[in-house]
Amino acid sequence: MASPSLFGGDIQDLSFHAEMQSNNRLQFKISAAQGKRFEVPHEHISHSLRSDPSSPITNTLEITHKPFGLTVRRKENRKILFDTTMAPLVFADQYLQLSARLPSHNIYGLGEHVHTQYRHNTNWKTWPIFTRDAFPNGGMHNLYGHYPFFLCLEEESGKSFGVFLMNSNAMEVILQPAPAVTYRTIGGVLDFYIFFGDTPEQVVQEFLELTGRPVIPPYWSLGFQLSRWDYGSLSEVKKTVERNRAVGIPYDVQYTDIDYMEDKKDFTYDKVKFSELPQFADYLHEKGQKYILILVRNPSLSSYLYLLHALKKTSTLNTCNLLVWPGETVFPDYTSQNCIDWWVEEYELFYKEVKHDALWIDMNEVANFKKGSNKGCADNNLNYPPYTPRILDEVMYSKTLCMDAKQAWGNHYDVHSLYGYSMVLATEKALQRVFGENRTMMLTRSSFPGVGKYSGHWLGDNAANWNDIKWAIPGMLEFGLFGIPYIGADICGFFDDSSEELCRRWMQVGAFYPFSRNHNAQGYKPQDPAAYGPDSTLLKSSKHYLMIRYTLLPYLYTLFYKAHTTGETVVRPLLHEFYSDSATWAVDRQFLWGKHLLITPVLDPGVDTVRAYVPDALWYDYETMERMADRKTHINMYLPADKLGLHIRGGAILPTQTPDVTTTYSRRHPMGLIVALDDNNQAAGELFWDDGDSRGIVIKHVTHAGYKEPNNLKFENITILGVPHPPKSVSVTHVSKGSGTGNSTTTVLFLNGLSLNLGETYLVEWELMVEDYQRFDCYPEENDAIDLPMYLYTLTIYLNATALFLLLSSGRPGSPDIDTLRVEIRYHSSDMLQFKIWDPATDRYEVPVPLSVPAAPETDENKRLYKVLITNNPFGIQVIRKNTGTKIWDSSMPGFTFSDMFIQVSTQLSSEFVYGFGETEHPTYKHDLNYHTWGMFSKDQPPGYKMNCYGVHPFYMGLENTADAHGVLLLNSNAMDVTFQPTPAVTYRTLGGILDFYMVLGPTPEMVVQEYTTLIGRPVLPAYWSLGFQLCRYGYANDKEIEDLYRDMRAAGIPYDVQYADIDYMERQLDFVLNPEFKNLPHLVDRMREEGMRFIFILDPAISGNETHYPAFVRGKEADVFIKWPKHLSDEIVWGKVWPDYPNVTVDESLDWDTQVELYRAYTAFPDFFRATTATWWHQEIQDFYENTMKFDGLWIDMNEPASFVHGTVGGKCLGDQLLENPPYMPPLESKHMGLNHKTLCMNSEQILSDGKKVRHYDVHNIYGWSHTKPTYDALLNVTGKRGIVVTRSTYPSSGKWAGHWLGDNFASWDQLYKSIIGIYKHTLNMFFGITLDICGFFNTAEYEMCLRWMQLGAFYPYSRNHNGKGNPRQDPVSWNSTFTEVSRDVLNIRYTLLPYLYTLMFESHTKGNTVIRPLLHEFVNDKATWDIYKQFLWGPALLISPALDKVCTHIHTPLWFEFTFIISTVRGQMVNMPTPMDHINLHIRGGYILPWQKPENTTHYSRRNPLGLIVALSDSGTAQGSFFWDDGEGIGK
């Protein structure tokens, strides 16, 4: 320790201990290395500390030395949360100081004080913490409780953390604008706990897992309560009770304060004024009410029996005499077992004399009306420490005991703030003794973390003023953080007389305090509701809102159950539910009950309009049942004198009960449900129900079978809010008997007169005439559509466990229905789940593509971002994002079908913003949901509208209206289609296999891709040289043409790294055989490679079988690698025809295509790449070619859909089941009338998986290209010994682990420029390292300006290749004119300059799953304008490319942007027209980023030798950041 305290007693040798106690809790403790110091003997924490982390502590905690400091990071993103290196640690005997920088100003908690706002002001605010009997009047002084705990919300993602210092000594906490926090405490040790959460709620749950979850109170304690100090007599108490009974106020509990006692002495009662007190509880019980009395913990020195008992137990603190209510008193030491035993005995004796139902303990800070004692306090360093925190009066013993008083736990100096805590523990034992198995209630004024496990709390002795009604809300919210959800303020104020207006408004809001008690002080006029007169607005308003409270008590009780079992908050700040909306972060004049009820009170005098915030959800006015039009905005809410704002959140189901004047009576009444439909017409809720009184909860969820409520409760009414149209019919049906009916208004459906028994299951159904956009096409064949004219809404009341499957028959001959299905839901991680539906009785085909899922599921429901519900009739699965309530999947739609060759399932979508699915050409990035159907079946088909192309990717990303994102993969490789409709909804139809869905929860678009690639595999890291410009052409006549091109490109100085050879280099298009016209190509390749170039050649999978000696075929046949018929049909190869020609023929290209195929194309066999023997054979052929014919650096594999120029097989007759070739349902595929075998193999061809299982090509056709890719990649690496690249045409999810992809045989037309961006975007979701469209087009003649603009655009494709087809003019950069050459050179020089940045992006894609080419919405998802942008794109987060595609209309987004020429762009957040002359492409660097660069050369071989540089683009705040990855560019495993 090198930092002196300035207060003496410095401790130089310290002990440091740290551990990850769980995945979300870090403890670190700093204490003296020698000697024992006081540590809090916490009752719960000592039993809850079990270290069980899944990640090493080094992922979270870093230690620095000289000076000592520690840094706590969030392990998943390395964000610094708590950094003590900003200031030195000070550790002396009576002065300990630690400071830490925080990541955010959003700090909540610390207590107990009056905080005039919930979110802390961090402008040098000092908050003392030391329990104290003081008035909560708005000063910054310490109050009754001791809470060194705060929660910090980091950002809009919701990620939060909490910090708890386990120390009970007097302290102060200073909040600073860095932002930072400084702790100063004057004893004990520094024992910190850091809690990590994905949401604020999770932080609270983690904190309460450590300190103890809240007690569940008895049901009656949620009723309204009345109290005052000094009724004067029991007769006056009864008058109060009777006048409130007379006006019908709901009212459960009556209190007596210290005036019931004889001379204010505990365990006595005034035999004159309260002579009938022993019978008072019975008087209340007759009307279903309860009685609570107060004890204040301090025996008087006046002679009475229980003090003698206390002295015999030797449990009082010292022998000093003190002054509290009875006069001179002594104080029990509740940390002593003798004292606890005495307290229990005295309480038991008193209870036998005066019956009551619960206990209120007060003055236990510990409070004293003298300073220290009647003899003063000794002059020592405990009573007068070297440093005194900024506590009230700045004297340690002010209004309490001397600090050197001795207790069993230690000096009062150390345990003062634990006095109330220890009294609670002792009182809990007393209550257990007296009440046994019956639940009771405790209310304490002084508290410490963990008290909520046993007790509630009230906010102390407030006053009747408009400040205190406001400040009660932050106080309640804070005690929700602290783990005491049973919390409230004295309604109408304790001190002073309350005006009618103030008390009326306070009764309105107090009706929604969890602990709802009206209490006032001696000498002030009565303020119980009836005291204001039977005709007063106050009384009527109070009765109205208390009736609403009692109606909703089943919901409130369920919230307390959730608090007790999971640690969820009851009263909840808006930011806990809507943390992505920064407008909620400071809202503290409104609050929520749980997730679903928003309370907006009037807190100012003389107003009837409140400035209220409406969070981003659908809301219904509780009283009018009207749907609010506003959301995510402030509004002026009209609330006249008798009204309070009360709104139900869409998506909620609130259990209700007919109210009465006490809970004893209301619990006998029928129950009901309020169903508030959300934007997707969905709702969900929970109900916990038990007897309300038993200690030790018997969990009887309504979803559990067999629970029979003793009062034979029934649900008699269901109110459904948000029904868009009057229903045609309504029915309520018991699963085995009976039914009922209902009626409706235009937007509210009332189901009345029901008799639904608690403990059983019912279906509530109503049919609505629906709009066209809501109809589902269950029979999608052309000219045979059957639209459902009604939409059947089903509400299942799970009062009993049951499961139903409602399946629609396929109605298709040859595809028998499967009636018994199994459903399995796997919670793989907090952000990923899987749901699988299959036939357990049959070994149906499942996709053999391995996915990476965690070894163990996420079993902690609180950590999951989602919840899953199963619905019945119709059967469906619902996935709900927990923090927003958004239903992102709901397949409880009509038309679910599962038959042998036709499977159909529909789901509603969370919004209209859907991206993905492929491979086909889409005219926009965001899907048009107006009844469009897209077929998926891999095919040799040039891109075209609704033409199924080369790959199959049944994956989409959905953007929710909250700007959260999710992704869904259907792992199915059969032919399929998807139909979108504007509901919004999507229908999947597949021709086989099973339904195996995987869902990732993001919540950002970029995180969706990261999580998806965690599942399917990260993209391969390409060789550095492959990021250079590349040239290819189908139609080179000979090697001389390639040589001339190479010479001209070099002469022009155009950067150029890779040259290709298409099938022209082959002899008659035979793989691995060199065409004599290209006999000098091997020497040319060697020379080019010596000069820094790289070479790639093409391979097709089809192998000719008509050669007399063709080693590739001969060896393949010997190894049995070719696809054959099933043995029961034939043992022959399934022959096709592709590019290879017969030997000794001259092809007449003037003939039509089919005639050429028939006359000239050889029979070809297709290798079955699933087999290990095939991979070995393929490797050998590639190695032989490399070693004996020609060197190469990469491989290009084509025609692997697989493509054939005949349909099915030569001759056209496919053997076996013809339904496989023409199935009962045919998706809308290109040439669907020709069957599935059009331009490919017969579907009954047999393939053999690596495990030996035989499968039909019908099932694995779509993964043929996938199976081809890995053996090719493995062979390339093994043969060349370097990284290289593989480029494949046919793809499936996870192909990107081994290869890049180009978008196929496109056309030379202007529309292909912007469509190339859409195609790249879609494959970005599926994560391929390199995506390109053939620059300037493959088919047709390129036009000059179009090709020039395409060269500019293509210079920023990840995989940049100019390629065109046979018979068309050249279109390479040196084939035009000098202007074209110069423009191409200039733009490619920019590309090469930025290759270090692009390579870094590739590395981050390979290691983290980040996207390389990035849609704007990935970076600016909160700006919905970006959700439709597809004519611009980003390289990573920092480089914006705005190419000229037709006319230039460009969206420049809100951050600071710099043109690549380093001119600041002053426009942001709007559409602008940019000048784009022919020699220019618009490039902008985003402020706040650093881009690595390198001087360009004509190949990367030479540019990599040049110096590196950095482009630093400062943000608005003058900062920038970046990353850089560098290696040798081609090594394997680097």
Residues belonging to the active site: 362, 365, 1198, 1201, 1305
Backbone torsions φ then ψ of 1334, nearest 5 degrees:
-60, 115
The answer to whether the beta carbons of residues 1020 and 1296 sit under 8 Å apart is yes
Cβ neighbors of 266 (< 8 A, separation 6 or more) are: 295, 296, 297, 298, 299, 306, 346
What does the block give as tokens for 1388? 């490619």
**Whole-angstrom distance, CA of residue 198 vs CA of residue 76:** 11
Degrees to nearest 5, angle at CA 1002 with 584 and 938 = 145
Q: What is the residue whose two structure tokens read 């910054």?
A: 140
Question: 318: Cβ–Cβ under 8 A, 6 or more apart, which residues?
Answer: 402, 405, 406
Separation of alpha carbons 113 and 792, rounded Å: 54
Question: What does the alpha-carbon distance between residue 1140 and residue 351 come to, in Å, rounded to a whole number?
Answer: 101
Query: How many CB atoms are closer than 10 A to CB 687?
Result: 24
Copy the structure tokens of residue 28: 């670190």
- Measure the CA–CA gap between 389 and 128, rounded to whole angstroms: 6
Pairing mode of beta strands 253-256, 225-228? parallel
Question: What spatial distance separates the first Cα and last Cα of the chain, rounded to whole Å?
Answer: 43
Helical H segments across 286-336, by residue range: 305-313
H-state helical runs in 514-567 = 537-551, 553-566
- Of the candidates 995, 998, 988, 997, the residue with the CA atom closest to the CA atom of residue 837: 995
Angstrom distance (rounded) from CA 1256 to CA 1246: 5
DSSP symbols for 753-799: S--EETTSEEEEEEEEE--GGG--BSS-STT---B-SEEEEEEEEES
What's the distance, CA 39 to chain centroid?
38
C-alpha–C-alpha distance, residues 263 and 1327, integer Å: 80
Distance of CA 1126 to the CA centre of its chain: 48
Q: Give the SS3 label for residue 1083.
A: helix
Q: Which tokens in the block code for residue 596? A: 């679903």
Answer for the pair 178, 86: CB distance below 8 angstroms, yes or no.
yes
Tell me the C-alpha distance between 1084 and 807, whole Å: 65
Q: Using alpha carbons only, what angle is made at residue 858 by residues 854 and 859, rounded to the nearest 5 degrees?
A: 140
User: Which of 1060, 1057, 1056 lies closest to 1039, judged by CA?
Assistant: 1060
The residue to which tokens 């230039």 are assigned: 1448
Rg over alpha carbons for the chain, rounded to the nearest Å, is 38
DSSP codes, 909-934: -SSSEEEEEESSB-SSSBPP-SSEEE
d(CA 565, CA 559): 10
Nearest Cα to 1221, choosing from 901, 841, 853? Answer: 901
Place of tokens 């040039």: 942
* Distance from C-alpha of 531 to C-alpha of 539, rounded to nearest angstrom: 9
Fill in the amino acid letter for 268: T
SS3 1278: helix
Backbone angles phi, psi at 1028, to 5 degrees: -80, 175
Cis link prior to 984 (omega < 30° from 0)?
yes
Alpha helical stretches, state H, 175-304: 200-211, 234-246, 277-285
